[in-house]
Structure 1
Amino acid sequence: MQVSVVIPAFNAGQYIEAAIASATQQDGVSLEVVVVDDRSTDDTREKVRRMAAADPRVSLIVLPQNGGPSVARNAGIAAAQGQWIALLDADDAYLPGRLATLVALGDEQHADLVADNMMLVDAGDGSAVPMMAPGFLACPRAIDLPEFIARNISTPDAPRTNYGFLKPLMRRAFLASHGLRYDEKVRFAEDFALYVDCLRAGAQWWLHPEPMYRYLVRPDSLTQVQTTGDLDRLRRRQRRLLSEAKDQGDHAFATLIRRHLRNVDRCYYYRGFTDELKAKRPAAALGYLFGGADSVPLVVQEGARQLPVVLRKALQGGYRRPAGAAR
């Protein structure tokens, strides 16, 4: 079997059938689809069971308790039998021919990871734009760790481009030989964390310029609504990487992680400051504002970046955090 498509799902009843269908309708590859239900409370499991009954390539794993996306993905990877592990979020979809195109590129280049550009689809109006603008990536090519980390920090020349959002096919043998899995303590930016581990382990990663992955941008997703707890866990992980890089004398990697950590810190202090202001806890808000040596300028910088978003939300009636979102 060439590809195992792993789909973690939590309350994805609205989208799961389309996601699975986009995988099973892929031509030119032998595949299985492993759906991991993270204790959904809607009709996700029932819909997957019906599709599995009609197509033996589809299987369902039900977790004993909600563990988050990293736990769900690890369960899917452990069950996978394909040469390649293909990631697919339950509210996203593949375009026709995606898997065959990426498998061919990965095999041709002896790659360990291979990904494509993405179509960012607005959940509100259905409009779609490629994450990497036309011309940004002229032809398939390899990327390395410095480029990967650098492209996780927004820049004026490519404001939407964030390589941490990419959904690569990963060679299962590479993951197994290096003992690589998702960090189950991380519920936000878990893909970024794994990809860094892969590249540090020597993975060869190739990118294809064609956008063949439809990424649904929803205002209530974890990617769009990071909590301070999510961001703080990522900060702690990055600090461990930074400490390891310093101990190993890897100054280039330390510089890269320090740049990315500053970006995460900016989001963390701003999120904490604004959340506490909204909750009418001024003392706690000041705790975030003055929580670090450079937290004040970081909050100001992120505030300036978020101003257009804040104004747009205000015109649309305001922004409300999803019920049950933890800090």
Structure 2
Amino acid sequence: MTAAATMDVCVIIAAKNAAETIARAVASALAEPETAEVIVIDDGSTDTTASSALSAADDTGRLNVVRFENNRGPAAARNHAVAISRSPILAILDADDFFLPGRLTRLLAVSDWDFVADNIAFMDETAAASAAADVGRFQPEPRLLDLNGFVEGNISHRGVRRGEIGFLKPLMRRDFLSTHQLAYNEALRLGEDYDLYLRALAKGARYKIIHSCGYAAIVRGNSLSGSHRTEDLKRLYEADRGILADNRLSAEAAAVIRRHERHIRGRYEHRRFLDLKREGGPIAAITYLLGKPGAIPAVAGGIFADKAERIRPTEALAERGNSNRLRYLLPASAELS
């Protein structure tokens, strides 16, 4: 560790059945000089996640692994980690993913923020080993993200790979969360990050973004973050409704949140229709629609989009970069020399 580094970041990793990747995530967090503590919450795993995490410990005593006997979800796991941590700055790292060297140094060089996030490099598992060399070095170009831009950036589009702004993993100042009594909504198992950041922005949080890339996200078909239940969609649009009811918002902000709520509610209605069709047959699904005529446009649009997606050529993972297995969440225009 460098003597100049200030160790004031707690890295939080919520993990379930992540034995194959958790050691890499832990090691990448411990390698950052600014990391004061790494807290792993083993959220009811049935594999060796806890022991695999411990295998990455160094001799600094910064790693703390806590095991939940029963799965409680990522929001509950993160809330527990926040409660037992001591550091003034909090960082979230998914168990599949890892930090690229120097990530925290670059983020902490930015001033005047309550949340600060950097670019994400999406890659498959085969690209992980060479990621530090392959990921581009971009000018930071810091900018503020306001509530409207954040919500607009979380309205997804079919046929486009993961790309919503909600996937960003910002550093968060503990004092802002404490002052505004903000925590993860434990009723959510989908969009819990989006919900927390939106509630923070509604309270006036300064959310900055830089285009430097320090977070590597592994794309895999069976990841927990890539799958969700129909009920999870319902809880997410209900969370939007809660934010609309509980905050004094501008007319523009309220309008964009309502757009997101309709977007998620439409996805829910489509999924609910498909569930009923699978479980009870076409008559059960059509009977449901007849009782909810307002859902018909969303269901029809979802069915049409599904059919179109089956015939659309698969999008390549790469958008730019040194590897055809890399793409970036944020556009980055200027590379460092």
If the TM-score is normalised by the length of the shorter chain, which range does it land in?
A: 0.7 to 0.9
Aligned mate of 1:167, from 166, 169, 194: 169
Cα distance between partner residues in 2 of 1:234 and 1:14 = 30
Shift of 1:127: 12
The AA in structure 1 aligned to 2:166 is G
Tell me the equivalent position of 2:15: 9
Shift of 1:313: 11
Distance 1:220 1:281, change over 3 A: farther
Identity of aligned residues (%): 38
Deviation of the 1:185 alpha carbon: 0.7
Which range moves more in the overlay, 48-57 or 96-105? 48-57
**Which amino acid counterpart does residue 163 of structure 2 have in structure 1?**
T
SS at match of 2:209: strand
Shifted more, 163-172 versus 271-280: the winner is 271-280
What is the CA deviation profile of residues 46-88 of structure 1, one whole-angstrom value per residue up to 9, with x for unaligned ones?
A: 1223334755111111124321000000011112222210000
Give unpaired runs (5+ residues) of structure 1: 315-327
1:176 alignment partner, one of 167, 178, 191 = 178
- Equivalent position to 1:226, from 216, 223, 228: 228
Instruction: Tell me, yes or no, if the aligned pair for 1:119 and 1:128 is still in contact at 8 Å.
Output: no
Cα deviation, residue 167, structure 1: 0.6
8 Å contact 2:140–2:212 — kept in the other structure? no
Q: Displacement, 1:291?
A: 5.7
Corresponding residue number in structure 2 for 1:260: 260
Taking the TM superposition and a 5 Å limit, the aligned residue runs for 1:4-153 are 4-27=10-33, 29-52=34-57, 54-105=59-110, 108=111, 110-122=112-124, 139-153=141-155
* Unpaired runs of at least 5, structure 2: 1-6, 315-337
Deviations 1:140-180 (A, max 9, x none): 11111111001111369x87531111110001111112111
Contact 1:52/1:60 (8 A) holds in 2: no
The equivalent of 2:305 in structure 1 is 305
Match of 1:320?
none
In 2, Cα distance between the equivalents of 1:56 and 1:147? 40
Return the letter of the residue paired with 1:258: R
The one-letter amino acid paired with 1:59 is N
Aligned residue runs from structure 1 range 202-221, under 5 A: 202-221=204-223
Aligned mates of 2:304, 2:128 — CA distance in 1:
28
- Tell me which residue corresponds to 1:318: none
Structure 2 residue identity aligned to 1:271: R
What's the offset of the Cα at 1:252? 2.2
Q: Say what the alpha-carbon RMSD is for the aligned residues.
A: 3.0
Aligned length: 302
> CA contact under 8 A between 2:199 and 2:243: conserved in structure 1?
no
Q: Give the secondary-structure state (helix, strand or coil) at the position aligned to 1:223.
A: helix
